[in-house]
Amino acid sequence: MNKNEFINALKELNIKITPLQLEKLETYYNLLIEENKKYNLTAITKKEDVYLKHFYDSLTLNKIINLSNQYLCDIGTGAGFPGIVLKIIFPNLKITLLDSTEKKCKFLKLVISELNLNNIDIINERAEIYSKTTREKYDIVTSRAVAPLKHLLEYSISLVKVNGYYIAMKGDISKDIIGIDTYETKLGIKEESRLSFKLPKENSLRTLIKYKKMTKTSTKYPRKYTEIKKNKII
Ligand code: SAM
C-alpha cells in the first residue's frame, strides 16, 4: 500500500490524516526499520507492507468503536500495534501500552520521545499480573495477534470499566470461539458486535470482536498463568 493508497483507504475508515500525522508515521517507520536491525521487532519491513499490515490494520479498530477521548490499554503491543498508530491518529486518546518484553518497551519509549507523544505510558509486565491488581480502569482494552481469545479475555477483562469494552483484533476466529459462552458468563461480558472484512490489496481475513463488560469482574480472575496456559476451562 503506497502513501496515496493509504490516505485513500483511511478516508473509507472516516479518517482524514494530516500532513503532520503522515510525517509522524514516516518517522515511526524509519525508527522501526533502524531498531529492527539491532533486535527483532517485526518480520514485516517493506514500506508498503508496513503501511498496510501494521499502520492501516491498526486503524481498522475505528470501524467498530469511537476512539475519541477514551482511555485505552493495548495488551501485548509489541512494537506499538495498534497502540502507537492509534495515538498518532487520535491524539486525544489516553493510552497504556503493555508488553512483557523489555526490548520492545525500550523501543516504545524511544518512539514516544522521538514523536513527542503525550498521555501515553508503557508498562513492562505480563498482562495477567498487571490485571490482577489493576481493575476497572480503562474504557477500552484491545490486543492484536497476542494469544487465544479465551486467554485474552481472562487477562484483560478486569482492566475494563463496567460498561466499557474489550476488542480483540483477530484473523480467523472459528477455533477461538469454541466454548466461549462459558467465558462470557463467568467474566460478566456480552458480545456486542463482530465485524469481518478483508485487508485491502492482499485480501487476508480480519475479524474484530467487541465485548461489553456488564458487571464487575470477580477477583478470582485472572487465574494463575499456569492454570490459564493448561487450557483448563474457566
Ligand atoms: N500487537 C503487536 C502486533 O500486532 O504487531 C505484537 C504482536 S506479537 C505477536 C505478541 C506480543 O505480545 C509480543 O510482543 C509479546 O511480548 C506480547 N505478549 C504475549 N503474551 C503476553 C502477556 N501475557 N502479557 C504481556 N505481553 C504479552
Report the C-alpha gap between 101 and 104 in whole angstroms: 6
Query: Whose CA is closest to atom 3 on ligand 1?
Result: 81
Cα(209)–Cα(91) distance, integer angstroms: 24
Domain annotation covers residue 233: no
202: in domain = yes
- Residues 6+ positions from 32 with CB-CB distance below 8 Å: 41, 42, 45, 50, 79, 107
CB-based burial of residue 37 (10 Å sphere; 0-12 exposed, 13-18 middle, 19+ buried)? exposed
- For residue 147, the CA-to-ligand 1 centroid distance in Å is 8
In-domain check, residue 170: yes
User: Which one of 44, 81, 85, 146 would you pick to mutate in the ligand 1 pocket, going by the greatest count of ligand atoms within 8 A of its CB?
Assistant: 146
pLDDT of residue 101: 97
> 117 exposed, middle or buried (CB, 10 Å; 0-12, 13-18, 19+)?
middle
* 8 A C-beta contact, residue 231 and residue 171: no
Q: Is the residue at 51 inside a domain?
A: no
Cell numbers at residue 190, please?
456480552
Strand-pairing partners, residue 97, are 74, 122
Helix, strand or coil, per DSSP, at residue 161: strand
Whether 53 is covered by a domain: the verdict is no
Cα(151)–Cα(137) distance, integer angstroms: 19
Span from the CA of 11 to the centroid of ligand 1 (angstroms): 29
Between the CA of 99 and the centroid of ligand 1 the distance, in Å, is 6
User: Can you give the CATH number for the domain in which 221 is found?
Assistant: 3.40.50.150
Q: Which residue's alpha carbon is at the smallest distance from atom 14 of ligand 1?
A: 78
Of 51, 113, 121, nearest to 83 by C-alpha is: 121
Q: Is 77 in the pocket of ligand 1 (CB under 6 A)?
A: yes
For the chain, list residues with pLDDT below 70. Answer: 232
44 assigned to some structural domain: no
pLDDT at 229: 81
Our count of domains for the chain comes to 1
Q: Which domain holds residue 111?
A: 66-228
> Which residue minimizes the CA distance to atom 15 of ligand 1?
76
Which residue among 100, 126, 199 has the greatest number of ligand 1 atoms within 8 angstroms of its CB, and so is best to mutate?
100
Please check whether residue 175 lies inside any domain of the structure.
yes
CA distances from 198 to 6, 57, 90, 207 (A): 15, 10, 23, 9
At 225 the pLDDT is: 85
Position 60 in a domain: no
Report which ligand 1 atom has the smallest distance to the Cα of 130: 24
